[in-house]
A and B are shown apart, each in its own frame.
Chain A
Amino acid sequence: MESQKLVISPAPHVHGSNDTRRMMGDVLIALLPALVVSVLVYGLQAFVVVAFSVACCVLVEWFVQKFIFKRPSTLGDLSAIVTGVLLGFNLPANMPLGLIAIGAVVAIGVAKMTYGGLGKNLFNPALVARVFLLVAFPVAMTTFPEATGAVSGATPLALAKESLKAGVPVGEVMQSVDLASMSLGMKSGSLGEISVVALLIGFGWLLVRRVISWHIPVCVLGTMALFSSITWLCAPEEYMSPLFHLLSGGAVLGAVYMATDYVTSPMTKKGMVVYGVGIGLITMLIRLWGPYPEGMSFAILIMNSVVPLIDKYIRPRRFGSVKSK
């Protein structure tokens, strides 16, 4: 009976179906519809941007792990691919490839690996790269190509901001915007943010697969809706409607896919609510009164930095901590 060696390990001896690779794979699947829409709207160049961004991110991660960390590669967890897709989604379809490569180095090399790799970074890598590119190459980042059926040039948010600043009343601005086509993807913007419907389909998939919970996306979007409703009701001539805010810019992309990044979001449900509300608030403050038309990226990064604090002070409810009857 001693011919074969029995395995001895501490309990538990079974494992659930949760798996980093599976969850990251689910995120990729959830991002597919939005990718399809962006290719339909912007053509093949959209696909090239995303593919190149993924390739660069994977390459940078492999390089750092092989030559700097000298650790076995962990590309199998697919996290570099997710970062690559999300980075691509945050870029215009005509982004020069060289700038994408710089973005990938910032995302993986600076925002992720300098902290020690997966799980240790404080800020969302794709967003750090986006903000870096936005600040360093503002023209390339805000010039959007001609798209089939969409208003070319500036994004609806930028358009609205310019017009309102120039004193054009909201009613007139709204005439140039069609909310229905905006939600489908007939608008100008970064690759991934153009189709709210496609993004929401992916959200549904993530919920079904229990990859993420509803807390962060709902709190972000809910806060934005509430905030913009108040301003809109107070002064309908000066502020855009809540629906416009939810459908434009990176609201849904940020709320569903960027803010929910495990590594950079809180560990408890209560913490997620605080974090989500914070992102919604900061986004609206920037959109309405800040210098940029879009504030989602900054809002998420700002709240990323607060996560350690949230985790320190907001603890899960302990069993037995409620006074029993």
Chain B
Amino acid sequence: MKTFPIGGIHPSDCKEYSKGAKIERFPVPATVTIPLSQHIGAPAVACVAKGDKVLVGQIIATAGGFVSSNIHSSVSGTVVAVEPKADAQGNMKPSITIAVEGDEWAEGIDRTDTVVKAINMSPKEIVDKIAAMGIVGMGGATFPTHVKLSVPDGKKAECLIINAVECEPYLTADYRVMLEQGERLLIGARILAKAIGVDKIYIGIENNKPDAIAHLTKLAGAYLEIEIVPLKMRYPQGGEKQLIAAVTGREVPSGKLPIDVGAVVQNVGTALAVYEAVAKNKPLIERVVTVTGSTLASPKNLLVRIGTPMSALVEYSGGIDGIGKVIAGGPMMGRAVSNLDAPVTKGTSGVLLMPTQESLRKAEGSCIRCAKCVEACPMGLEPYLLSALTQQNDYDQLEAHYIADCIECGCCTFSCPSYLPLLDWVRIGKAEVMKRMRERSQKK
């Protein structure tokens, strides 16, 4: 069975808590807070003001540049504020707050359950539609999808890879989508393939989800261009570069993009959102969020309107008693939440509640040069060295040791027997080196 070439770890997948829970529609909250920057790139620019009435699906902020995204209202009601609100990490971010009144949808959105199979748009129309509907990568990186679909001149896409790996422990949002919305997902993938002009679609799924593999393989029988690729379970297989290597055997060179090896990768959630945008004219206003944890009374997979406060989801799934840490996303790459009133955004794939006794890290020891981090690094870097060099502020050496290649997957910290916060430091060093590299290229 295929997998990526170097490094990787085997965390226990902990998906059993929520994998059986069907996707539930989460009730519309009383107010939503929709941040203007839910994607990588320039923040969107608000096009509504305090007091305006909005409908579900109505555009409320327009893209602030090419690498940016439109934002639509996820509810109907009145705009009560357009001002900075604390995000999940407590930092103030420009947001639009809407008080909910009823649930009236904007015109033109097809809310029926009929599956639309035919795609009658040209590639350019598809990309424009995706841009207009505010679709971004929903695996967590939130890169605007229309940018990824715009293949630069001189480069050619050869295949589309649908990232159905969901290698983060605990999360089951993509898994449930595959089981429950498989048909729509495949149509979404075909729309994406048409947009970039390729006739080969790989769907990479890890072998800890055999029922999803079986289900999609059956459905894909109708489409010759779709190939389901079962992958050997190993974290971080869902990393873009790792997935491409696992599926096609091609390695994206340092500093290059997937398109340089002819691949475009899109997440399961993105493919579904693309189907809804293109076939049903529905903007990205809701997403599936896994709310889970080992001590939770009822872990769930919820279809949540963007802007719903996380505290509402936590309350709904069993409350915060005995919880020491709340994580937006998975346990390997998700970010700890300090402000529970912060909203679910386009990139929130899960809300993980960790019990108090699992929340604190163990005391740091000293590096014993065991090389476990070197062995685990999927990019072939030397985390122990990068961490030490960062603490010495030796940025030239950091660059020479390819710190910019780091994908921040966390394998190094996970595998360190001395509980050293390797990635904490590497992240700092990488940010500084990237800044220096950018400054240099601007000077040229």
Contact = CB atoms under 8 A, between A and B. Distances in A.
Pair from one complex = yes
A263 B336 contact: no
Contacts of B380: 316-319, 321
Interface stretch (A18-26, A137-145, A188-196): A18-26
Contacts, number: 161
Given A11-B333, A267-B374, A316-B381, A16 B415 contact: yes
B94 interface: no
A119 B367 contact: yes
Given A7-B360, A268-B374, A324-B250, A263 B368 contact: yes
Contact of A318 (B254, B323, B408): B254
5 contacts: A11-B408, A18-B416, A74-B366, A262-B370, A321-B380
Given A7-B359, A77-B365, 18 more contacts: A6-B338, A11-B332, A12-B423, A16-B414, A18-B415, A20-B417, A118-B368, A119-B368, A119-B418, A262-B371, A263-B369, A266-B371, A316-B6, A316-B382, A319-B5, A319-B380, A320-B253, A325-B250
B368 A20 contact: yes
A13 B250 CA distance: 31
A9 interface: yes
B245 A12 contact: no
Residue among A117, A265, A266, A316 facing the most chain B CB atoms (10 A cut-off) = A316
B245 A13 contact: no
Given A9-B361, A262-B368, A15 B253 contact: no
A325 B338 contact: no
A75 to B, nearest CB: 12
Contacts of B419: 15
Given A23-B370, A319-B378, A6 B413 contact: no
B340 interface: yes
Nearest to B89: A8
A11 B331 CA distance: 7
B91 to A, nearest CB: 12
B175 interface: no
Contacts of B402: 318
Contacts of B340: 1, 6
B334 interface: yes
B335 interface: yes
A116 B223 CA distance: 64
Given A14-B331, A20-B365, A20-B368, A6 B245 contact: no
A66 interface: no
B251 A23 contact: no
Nearest to B12: A14
A324 B261 contact: yes
B9 A16 contact: yes
Contact of B381 (A23, A117, A318): A318
Contacts of B379: 318-320
Given A13-B331, A23-B417, A8 B336 contact: yes
A11 B236 CA distance: 14
B235 to A, nearest CB: 10
B334 A22 contact: no
B251 A20 contact: no
A6 B324 contact: yes
Contact of B372 (A18, A74, A118, A266): A18
Task: Give me the 7 closest cross-chain CB pairs, A-B, nearest first.
Answer: A12-B410, A318-B380, A18-B417, A324-B250, A262-B370, A7-B359, A320-B253
Residue among A1, A4, A265, A319 facing the most chain B CB atoms (10 A cut-off) = A319
Contact of A10 (B337, B418, B427): B427
B11 interface: yes
Interface in B367-415: 367-372, 374, 377-382, 384, 402, 405, 408, 410, 413-415
Contacts of B5: 319
A315 interface: yes
A120 interface: yes
A111 B441 CA distance: 48
B326 interface: yes
A7 B336 contact: yes
Given A316-B380, A319-B6, A74 B414 contact: no
A153 to B, nearest CB: 39
B190 interface: no
Given A1-B311, A13-B336, A18-B416, A267 B384 contact: yes
A10 B422 CA distance: 11
A38 B197 CA distance: 72
Interface residues of A, number: 42
A317 B402 CA distance: 12
Contacts of B320: 1, 4
A180 interface: no
Given A11-B332, A18-B417, A317 B6 contact: yes
A166 interface: no
A322 interface: yes
B245 A319 contact: yes
A12 B417 contact: no
Residue among A263, A264, A265, A324 facing the most chain B CB atoms (10 A cut-off) = A324
B249 interface: yes
Contact of A9 (B261, B336, B372, B415): B336
A316 B251 contact: no
Contacts of A14: 11, 169, 331-332, 358, 414
Residue among B251, B370, B419 facing the most chain A CB atoms (10 A cut-off) = B370
B333 A12 contact: yes
A313 to B, nearest CB: 13
B327 interface: yes
Contacts of A77: 365
Contacts of B245: 319
Contacts of A79: 368
Nearest to A10: B424
B423 A11 contact: yes
B325 A13 contact: yes
Nearest to B371: A267
Interface in B1-23: 5-7, 9, 11
A120 B333 contact: no
B410 A11 contact: yes
A316 B374 contact: yes
Nearest to B325: A7
A183 B374 CA distance: 36
Contacts of B408: 11
A175 B422 CA distance: 57
Given A10-B421, A13-B354, A117-B366, A319 B241 contact: yes
Contacts of A22: 417
Contacts of B324: 4, 6-7
